[in-house]
Amino acid sequence: MLISAAAVPVLLPDPSADWELLPILIEDEPWYVVNVLRTTHAYDPERSDFRRFSSESALIFSCRKIVLTDPALLDVEVFTLEDSTRGEVFVTETFKRRIESAGIGYAVRFREVGCIDESGESVTEGPRPQPAPSATDPIHACHAGLPAPTSLAPNHKVEPIMSTDEALDLLLAQQRPALQLVPAASAGWSQVGGQPNLPDDMAWPMGCEGPMAFLAQLDLAEIPGAPVVLPGLPTKGCLYFFYDPDLPPDALDRGEGPGWQVIHLAQRPTAPPRDMPDALPDDFRFAAAAVGFRAIRTVPSFERIGVDWSRLADDNFDRFDELRDGAYGEHAFHQMGGYPANIQDDTMEEECQRVAESLRQRSGLDPAGWRLLLQVGSDEALGMMWGDGGNIYFWIHEDDLAQGDFSRVWAVLQCF
C-alpha cells in the first residue's frame, strides 16, 4: 500500500507494531510504502472463499469471502493473511470509519469481504449457516498499490456518476479480441518456458550480469487470427522472448539494459532445444508447456476508459474481476493482443511513449499506436512467478510492427 506523506496522519496516525512505513521519493515528493507486519491464519476454511494460484497450491491470490476466528483481531486495524501473496490488505470497520470521518473515503477503495466470528469456532464437519457480518466490525479488503489521497479536504462529498451495471456495459462495449496461450492438445513448436530451439549460430541473450531467462517461443504460422489482434504481425517465422532476472530497478530509468530481448527470425529453425546456461539461476529455469492459441475477448480497465470506480453507485468490484479474469478460465494470463490484465496503473502505453521520446530519442510516433505483443503471466505449473503473482507485458508500436522491427519492444513488469 502506497500513501503520500500528507495522508499518513489520517490513515496511520499512531505508531503500531502492525505496520511500518518505508519512505520513498516519487518525483521528489515524499511517499511511504506501508509494510503490513500483522498476519493471521485464523480463518474458517469451510466458510471462507479464496482464489488460489492453482488447485494444488495453498497460496491465496485474492479473497472473495472470509470468516475470521480470532476475536483478538477486533483490536487490530490492518493485517494480511499468512498464506497469501500479501497483495490484499484487510482492515476492520474502525479503520474504515476513521478514513470516512476525515472526508477521504472517496480516495481509498474498500470492499466488505466478511466478519469475525467471535465464538472462535471453526467448521470441520458438515455445513453450517453463514453468519451475518458484524454490524460493528465487518472486515474489508483494501487493495495495496492504490493511490492515496493527496488532498485531505475534511467534508469532501462526491456524488456517484453511474451504477456498476452501467460501468460494466461501457467496458463490454469496448472489448478487444486477443489470443490466449493455453496448453496445447498436442506438442507443437510454440511453447512457454522450457528450452528454446535456438539456431546453432545464435548466442544465448545476455543481461546486465548474466544470461537472460527464456520465457517463450512462438511459431507465427501456428497463430490463427493473428492479423485481427495484431495487424502487421508476420505470419511466417518465429519469435523468442527473453527477460533479464538481474535487471537493476534504475537501469530502465537510465535507458540501460538490455532488460529483455525479442528476437524475430524469418524462418523457424529446426535446431534441437538449447541447454540453459550454467549461470542462469534456478528460479529462472522454467518448466516447458507446449501452447496453442484460443480467441478471447478482453475488456479495458475503468481507469483506461476514464471511469472513476470510487464514484460508482455500488461497490461490487468483484464483478469487474469476474468479467476480466473470467476470459482466462483456469489458465495463466498468457496473451497476445487485446487489453492488458493490468495489476497497477493502466498507463503502460504512456510509459512506452515517454521512453520512446526521451530515452530512445524517437519523435513523431502516434501515442495510440502501442500494441500488447505478449503478456506473460505468473504460472505456478511452470515455476514462473513475477513478484507476487504479476505479469510481464511486451509492447510494440504499430509502426515497428509493420516493419517487422522487434528491436524497440518495451517491457513492463507489474505485480501485487
Is residue 156 very low, low, confident or very high in pLDDT (cuts 50, 70, 90)? very low
Same-domain pairing of 129 and 217: no
The pTM (predicted TM-score) of the whole model is: 0.68
pLDDT in tens, 342-401: 988 888 999 889 888 877 778 888 888 999 999 999 999 999 999 888 999 999 999 999
Q: Give residue 188's pLDDT band: very low, low, confident or very high (50, 70, 90).
A: confident
Is residue 196 domain-shared with residue 112, that is, in the same domain? no
User: Alpha-carbon dihedral of residues 270, 375, 416, 132, nearest 10 degrees?
Assistant: -120
What is d(CA 332, CA 181) in angstroms, rounded to the nearest whole number?
A: 8
The three three-digit cell numbers of residue 56, written as one number: 494444488
**Among 34-48, 281-295, 301-315, the least confident range:** 301-315
User: How much is the CA Rg of the chain, to the nearest whole Å?
Assistant: 23
pLDDT in tens, 309-345: 767 777 666 788 888 899 999 999 999 999 999 988 8
Domain count, the chain: 2
Assign 278 a pLDDT band (cuts: 50, 70, 90). Answer: very high
355 assigned to some structural domain: yes
CATH for 349: 2.30.320.10
Residue 82 counted as domain residue: yes
In a shared domain, residues 346 and 217: yes
Predicted pLDDT at 114: 82
Residue 358 belongs to what domain range? 176-414
